[in-house]
Amino acid sequence: MPLPEPGHTTRNVMVSLIIIGALLAAAGLSLAIFTKIAPHQGITGILIITGLIVGGLALSVPAKLYLTLQLMRHSDAKGAARQQRH
């Protein structure tokens, strides 16, 4: 099943998801490294850190896959157009 032709809006949403996901993952990592939230809050602190990291990855990975597929489609179309000229 071919993917629909993306507009600038879809691309901007996907880039935004990647940025938000990276920020969430960075917030989780910084909590784990620079604070003592895990030892002080116990399981709750660990769940907060894990939730931030997993939430960030969950947002960014599908967007990266979608943008990679769009890049591959653009590259294939460019290669096909180049071969038709020759």
Which burial class, exposed, middle or buried, applies to 45 when counting CB atoms under 10 A from its CB (0-12, 13-18, 19+)?
Answer: middle
Token pair belonging to 69? 């597929």
What is the tens place of the pLDDT at every residue in 49-84?
999 999 999 998 888 888 888 888 888 877 777 777
Q: Measured between alpha carbons, how far is 40 from 31 in angstroms, rounded to an integer?
A: 12
Q: Measured between alpha carbons, how far is 15 from 27 in angstroms, rounded to an integer?
A: 18
Q: Is the pLDDT of residue 86 over 80?
A: no
Compute the chain's Rg from CA coordinates: 19
What is the tens place of the pLDDT at every residue in 6-58?
567 888 888 888 899 999 999 999 999 999 988 899 999 999 999 999 999 99
